[in-house]
């Protein structure tokens, strides 16, 4: 309909995305969702609320570790409805002439991020977010000792459209004996780039985005926040650490306090700018065997769930994004500036 | 939680899927959705209803072609909200040092499947479904003459959770200058198989599924209907033609009447068995340049939208399916048998 429509290639996957801004709703037309504070602070039927600890399996981590059960700040517990079993046989079994299977071995843990039922990471204190990140990394590094597990996915589902069923702030960790296909694809592209150019694709991406500025929402000494060039959905947001580590597991713990600030601030901008949207975030990290790999560079990917994937995306693998990443970044920078101005957000 | 959980590999993509049946809802617990007949037969505000033809762009195909505007049975019109433009420059443009883009060139057409507002393909006459398929193939073969277009995706979004916004029965066709990444992946796997074994992977898959029988829902002289071994979602269903053609465009038109029967019957089983679920279907076909390729084998993939993709799937690329394909097939064969018994469905 308009000459503004473009097809852009993501340099980290080589996949193409249709950017068709004339289809967009303006952010201010996005309908209001229930804000976290509309909920009660404590819900007696919520298995993650204080006092209901017996409704979850025994915890594998509590912060602070010295806390009484009643005074925890973060808990990590096995998922009661885990799709995978802790033990089993990893041998591939040929199932007829064409098929192959293995036992459903894996770990699925839930990180209960706070005792408070009616908050969300965007509204938490920086120190609380830091504790969540410490819990992520602690469990990641504990589970990678089990060499059965090749890949550990840390992710968060927030809001109904994200696929979550519980509102109490929580995230999850899944360790699988299979490497993520998404990671393999990104690694292949990054290795090709490294072989061609002799540098890390993501380090070069950071430099290029900082030079162009158009898609950058925030920059700190340690991190860059941006809407990627070929954002697959509106307001897709990446947080990339400037320090080069393939794995979140090796990311220095001393940096987690800074990561907490940028993560909370980024989620707060999305919360205010898009009226508490449903979203998922994923820690895109290497396999546990590739943690020292020079080619890959871990980062966080935040995917707002403002639209539904439909038959075109499922058939072609191409996404249609209705907001130009540069327009999204301009809007998000304004949101950020107004939050800094009113003192809601640090101005680092 | 249970020893029944498995991780299965899809032989057509080599991707792994977690099958964790203990999480399943029984089909009878799936909530009732609005059935098509609850809607009015004609809606004055619907742009696809008869009498409102002026609300769509000029049609590119009408069936029967001799019909008066007021007496059409199937119409194909450009999508008024197309994300792509018919003309533009296909040259890749280097956008800074790392990025690449091109004009958003493509075609997006809507196939209005019937004048009736309150039906769905599962409930249509076989002859009407055949007309829709004829329209698909007619437009596919017309658009492939334009060598700019490398891939043509035919798909249907049915029900709110599928990403559609209009209830009037319709499907879509999108022609893009980029080959689908999903197709490239499947082709790579099929070529490897062909090189190793010397035969078409999909022809062998049909033979193996017919030998094992456990995942087969229906077989006719021309088609097999099954839940694939590594179904990514519950009740994922494939319709595979026994005749080997890489492209739907080359599938003999004389077979479309048989395809109409098996497609409608399959959708009717899903409609009754799962209470009119939201679903997408996609015609998984070759690129327009590969239509004579000996390795690929087009088929239809139906994906019910009973659950929401969440952070684990987005982070790892692995899906969690809560229904064993063999259990799904047993259930669907029962549904089919009872529909045959009551005479609702042909017993071919």
Record: contact A99-B11, CB cut-off 8 A: yes
* Chain B environment of A99 (Cβ under 8 Å): 8-9, 11, 208, 229-230
Predicted confidence (pLDDT) per residue in B96-117, tens digit: 899 999 999 999 999 999 999 9
Q: Identify the weakest region by mean pLDDT among A275-284, B25-34, B220-229, B255-264.
A: B25-34
Q: Which two three-digit tokens encode residue A182?
A: 């998404």
| Structure confidence at residue B57 (pLDDT) | 95
Task: Give the Cα-Cα-Cα angle A136, A140, A143 (nearest 5 degrees).
Answer: 140
Q: Is B42 on the interface with A (CB under 8 A)?
A: no
The pairing of beta strand A16-19 with beta strand B237-241: unpaired
Share of chain B above pLDDT 70, in %: 94
Say which of A82, A88, A157 has its CB closest to residue B310.
A157
Report the mean per-residue pLDDT for chain B: 93
| Structure confidence at residue B348 (pLDDT) | 59
d(CA A270, CA A239): 13
Q: What CATH number matches the domain at A6-341, 3.40.630.10, 3.10.20.30, 3.40.50.300, 3.30.428.10? A: 3.30.428.10
Record: contact A97-B9, CB cut-off 8 A: no
| Structure confidence at residue A26 (pLDDT) | 47
Question: Rg of chain B's alpha carbons, rounded to an integer?
Answer: 20
d(CA A304, CA A237): 8
Q: Identify the weakest region by mean pLDDT among A160-174, B24-38, B313-327.
A: B24-38
pLDDT above 60 for A3? no
B170 a catalytic residue: yes
pLDDT above 80 for A9? yes
Question: Of B88, B177, B251, whose CA–CA distance to A316 is shortest?
Answer: B177
Question: Of B129, B222, B272, B79, whose CA–CA distance to A311 is shortest?
Answer: B79
d(CA A117, CA A127): 17
DSSP state of A217: E
DSSP state of A105: B
Give Cα B331 distance to the centre of its chain: 21
Predicted confidence (pLDDT) per residue in B145-201, tens digit: 999 999 999 999 999 899 988 999 999 999 999 998 899 999 999 999 999 999 999
Asked if residues B106 and B150 have their Cβ atoms less than 8 Å apart, the reply is: no
Report the mean per-residue pLDDT for chain A: 93
Query: Of chain A residues 309-328, which have a CB less than 8 A from chain B?
Result: 309-312, 314-318, 320, 322
d(CA A174, CA A155): 9
Q: Identify the weakest region by mean pLDDT among A237-241, B66-70, B283-287.
A: B66-70
Domain regions of chain A by residue span = 6-341
Task: Count Cβ atoms below 10 Å from residue B247 Cβ, excluding itself.
Answer: 23
Predicted confidence (pLDDT) per residue in B71-89, tens digit: 899 999 999 888 898 889 9
Say which of A83, A100, A301 has its CB closest to residue B320.
A83
Question: Of B245, B228, B246, whose CA–CA distance to B303 is shortest?
Answer: B228
Predicted confidence (pLDDT) per residue in A55-80, tens digit: 999 999 999 988 777 789 999 999 98
Give the model's confidence band at A279: pLDDT under 50 very low, under 70 low, under 90 confident, else very high. very high
pLDDT above 90 for B30? no
pTM comes to 0.95
Adjacent-strand bridge partners of A95: A99
Phi, psi values for residue A176, rounded to 5°: -125, 155
Predicted confidence (pLDDT) per residue in B219-246, tens digit: 999 999 999 999 999 999 999 999 999 9
* Chain A environment of B97 (Cβ under 8 Å): 204, 208
Question: Of A248, A302, A307, whose CA–CA distance to A280 is shortest?
Answer: A302
d(CA B103, CA B7): 41
Q: Is A18 on the interface with B (CB under 8 A)?
A: yes
Residue A155 makes CB contacts below 8 A (sequence gap 6+) with A171, A172, A173, A174, A280, A281, A282, A283, B310, B311, B312, B314, B315
Mean pLDDT on A297-318: 95
d(CA A270, CA A249): 26
3-class SS of residue A147: coil
Task: Give the Cα-Cα-Cα angle A285, A291, A292 (nearest 5 degrees).
Answer: 135
Predicted confidence (pLDDT) per residue in A198-246, tens digit: 999 999 999 999 999 999 999 999 999 999 999 999 999 999 999 999 9
Give the model's confidence band at B70: pLDDT under 50 very low, under 70 low, under 90 confident, else very high. confident
Q: Identify the weakest region by mean pLDDT among A268-272, B77-81, B245-249.
A: B77-81
Give Cα A297 distance to the centre of its chain: 15
Question: Rg of chain A's alpha carbons, rounded to an integer?
Answer: 20
| Structure confidence at residue B4 (pLDDT) | 79
pLDDT above 90 for A303? yes
* Chain B environment of A320 (Cβ under 8 Å): 83
* Chain B environment of A155 (Cβ under 8 Å): 310-312, 314-315
Q: Identify the weakest region by mean pLDDT among A86-90, A131-135, B146-150, B185-189.
A: A86-90
| Structure confidence at residue B29 (pLDDT) | 45
| Structure confidence at residue B32 (pLDDT) | 55
């Amino acid at each position: 309909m308009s000459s503004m429509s473009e097809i852009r290639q993501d340099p980290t996957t080589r996949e193409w995305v249709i950017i068709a801004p004339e289809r967009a709703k303006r952010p201010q037309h996005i309908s209001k969702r229930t804000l976290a504070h509309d909920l009660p602070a404590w819900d007696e039927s919520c298995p993650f609320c204080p006092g209901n600890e017996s409704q979850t399996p025994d915890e594998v981590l509590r912060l602070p570790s010295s806390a009484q059960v009643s005074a925890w700040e973060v808990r990590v517990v096995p998922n009661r409805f885990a799709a995978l079993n802790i033990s089993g046989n990893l041998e591939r079994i040929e199932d007829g002439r064409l098929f192959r299977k293995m036992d459903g071995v894996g770990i699925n843990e839930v990180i209960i991020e706070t005792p408070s039922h009616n908050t969300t990471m965007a509204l938490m204190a920086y120190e609380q977010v830091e504790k969540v990140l410490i819990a992520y990394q602690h469990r990641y590094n504990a589970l990678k000792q089990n060499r059965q597990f090749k890949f550990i996915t840390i992710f968060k589902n927030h809001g109904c459209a994200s696929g979550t069923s519980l509102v109490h702030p929580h995230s999850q960790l899944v360790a699988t004996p299979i490497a993520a296909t998404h990671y393999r694809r990104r690694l292949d592209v990054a290795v090709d780039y490294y072989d061609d150019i002799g540098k890390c694709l993501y380090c070069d991406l950071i430099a290029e985005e900082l030079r162009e500025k158009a898609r950058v929402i925030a920059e700190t000494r340690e991190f860059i926040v941006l809407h990627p060039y070929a954002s697959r959905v509106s307001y897709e947001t990446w947080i990339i650490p400037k320090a080069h580590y393939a794995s979140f597991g090796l990311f220095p713990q001393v940096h987690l306090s800074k990561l907490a600030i940028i993560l909370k601030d980024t989620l707060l901008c999305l919360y205010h700018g898009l009226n508490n949207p449903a979203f998922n975030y994923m820690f895109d990290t290497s396999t546990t065997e590739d943690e020292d790999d020079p080619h890959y560079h871990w980062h966080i990917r935040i995917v707002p769930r403002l639209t539904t994937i439909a038959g075109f995306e499922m058939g072609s693998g191409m996404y249609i994004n209705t907001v130009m990443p540069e327009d999204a970044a301009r809007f998000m920078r304004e949101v950020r500036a107004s939050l800094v101005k009113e003192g809601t957000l640090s101005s680092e």
